[in-house]
């Protein structure tokens, strides 16, 4: 897969050197060759387990073949995300 688009990056809180982060993704929609994912980055406190949202964006990825041409997303992935399939 290759990145087709990265939406607006909204930085809500700073992340400083030495901070630990966790990155979460949720499938928003699934087309024939592309997938849209909501991405959240959270700062993670190792001592308290507290997470603080620091950045969010939506990103679109496209599955390509060895020649760089779009290729259909596999049936296993489509089955996992059946409710999010769109007519892209």
Phi, psi for 84 (deg, rounded to 5): -105, 5
Q: Which residue stretches of the chain have pLDDT < 70?
A: 86-88
How many independent structural domains does the chain possess? Answer: 1
Answer whether 52's CB lies under 8 Å from 42's CB: yes
Predicted local distance difference test score (pLDDT) of residue 55: 96
CA distance 45 to 20: 7
Q: Is 7 a domain residue?
A: yes
Q: Is 21 a domain residue?
A: yes
Predicted local distance difference test score (pLDDT) of residue 87: 53
Q: Is 88 a domain residue?
A: no
Which tokens sit at 49? 């387990």
Range of the domain at 66: 2-81
For residue 13, the domain's CATH number is 3.10.129.10
CA distance 31 to 62: 9
């Amino acid at each position: 897969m290759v990145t087709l688009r990265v939406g607006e990056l909204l930085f809500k809180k700073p992340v400083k050197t030495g901070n630990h982060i966790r990155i979460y993704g949720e499938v928003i929609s699934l087309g024939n060759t592309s997938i849209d994912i909501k991405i959240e980055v959270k700062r993670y406190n190792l001592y308290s387990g507290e997470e603080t949202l620091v950045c969010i964006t939506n990103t679109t990825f496209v599955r390509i073949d060895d020649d760089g041409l779009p290729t259909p997303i596999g049936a296993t992935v489509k089955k996992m995300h059946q409710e999010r399939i769109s007519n892209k």
